[in-house]
Amino acid sequence: MSTFHTPVLAKEVIDALGIRRGKRYIDATAGGGGHALGIVEQGGIVLGIDADADAVAEARRNLRRVRPEAEEGKDWIIVKGNFRNVVTIAKDTGWENVEGMLFDLGVSSFELDTKERGFSYRFPDAPIDLRFDRTSGETGESLLRRLSEDDLYEILATYGEEQSARRIAHGIVRARSVRPVKTADGLMAIVKDAGHHIAEIPGIAARVYQALRIAVNDEMGALREGLEGSRVLVKRGGRLVVLSFHSLEDRMVKQEMRTGPWHMVTKKPLTPNARELSQNRRARSAKLRVAEKL
C-alpha cells in the first residue's frame, strides 16, 4: 500500500460502484490512485481527476507500477483539474456518459503530512497554504490577513464547528495588527492565547485548520457543482458514490441523493469497521453514501 494515502473503505467503494468490465468510471478525487487502482483491477476504465499536481503524478505512478499491463490513455487517464468543472473535463476527454462517479472528499495523507503544503498545524514553521491546487487561488495566510473578524468567525464556527471561534477570530485580528500571521506556530500561539486547556489544543488546532482549508478551497461550492456535474454525466442505472468526512458535506450529499435524479441505495451511511479504524485513524469520520441514477 502506498504511504501517500490509504484508501478509506476501499472494498466498499468498489462494490458500491458495481464495476463492470470495459465500462467507464470517473474518480473525481484521484489522490494517490488507491480507489482508481481498485476500479482498474476490476476491469473498469477510469478517468481520474485531482486538483493537486502532486496527487496527479502519484496516481499515475501508482497505476503504472501496480498495473503495468493496463494501458494509459485506454484503460485509465489521470488529469489535473477541479471536480467543480467535471462536466467540461469529461467532455474534453470524450467521457460524457459514465457508469459511475466517485468523490472521496477532503485531504490526502500526503497533503497533511507534507510540511511545505501547509495543511497541518504540526509543523511550526510551515506556511499556512492549504490549497489543493498550488497554482491558483488565495492561501490560508492570505485569508488570515484579509478577512474581517466577523468573516473569520463565520468560517471557524461554520466549517470548524469551533466553540471558541469568536475568541480565536478576535485573537487573529489583534495579532495581525502587530505582525502578519504567516506560519503554523503564529496561528497556534493565537489558539493557545484564547485561554484553552492544554489538552484541548490539538483538537481546536485541527478544527481551525479544517475550517480554513474548507474556505481556501471553497470545498462546499466545489462539492455542489461537482454533484450537479454527476447528474449530467452518470448514465441511468449508474452509481454516485461519495465518501465524506465533514457533517456539512454529508448533509449536502444526502440532500442531493434525496432530491436529485437518484434512488438512495444506502439508507444509512456506511462507516469503517473497528479493524479499519485500528489501522487507519484518518478513516474515523468517514461516511459512505451511494445512489443510483433514475
Ligand X SMILES: C[S@@+](CC[C@H](N)C(=O)[O-])C[C@H]1O[C@@H](n2cnc3c(N)ncnc32)[C@H](O)[C@@H]1O
Residue 95 lies near ligand X (rule: CB under 6 A)? no
Residue 118 lies near ligand X (rule: CB under 6 A)? no
Q: How far is the CB of 51 from ligand X (least distance, A)?
A: 4
List 63, 87, 222, 290, residue binding ligand X (CB under 6 A): 222
Beta bridge partners of 30: none
Q: Which residue is nearest to ligand X (CB)?
A: 31
Residue 7 lies near ligand X (rule: CB under 6 A)? yes
List 5, 23, 60, 213, residue binding ligand X (CB under 6 A): 5
d(CA 60, CA 34): 11
Q: Using the rule CB under 6 A, give the single segment among 69-77, 79-87, 119-127, 174-182 that binds ligand X.
A: 79-87
Task: Compare residues 72 and 193 and give the one whose CB is closer to ligand X.
Answer: 72
d(CA 62, CA 5): 11
Q: Of how many residues is the chain composed?
A: 294
Q: Which residues contact 80 (CB under 8 A, 6 or more apart)?
A: 49, 50, 51, 52, 53, 56, 133
Q: Which residues contact 14 (CB under 8 A, 6 or more apart)?
A: 35, 38, 39, 42
User: Is the separation of the CB atoms in 220 and 248 below 8 Å?
Assistant: yes
Q: How far is the CB of 202 from ligand X (least distance, A)?
A: 21
Q: How far is the CB of 7 from ligand X (least distance, A)?
A: 3
DSSP-based three-state secondary structure for 242:
strand
Give the N- to C-terminal CA distance of the chain in Å, as an integer: 36
List 14, 23, 29, 45, residue binding ligand X (CB under 6 A): 29
135-163 burial code (b ≥16 CB/10 A, e <16): eeebbbbebbeebeeeebbbbbbebbebe
List 18, 34, 44, 272, residue binding ligand X (CB under 6 A): 34
Give me the 200-219 binding string for ligand X, x by CB under 6 A, dash otherwise: -----------------x--
Residue 31 lies near ligand X (rule: CB under 6 A)? yes
Q: Which residues bind ligand X (CB under 6 A)?
A: 5, 7, 29, 31-35, 49-52, 55, 82-84, 104, 106, 108, 132, 217, 222
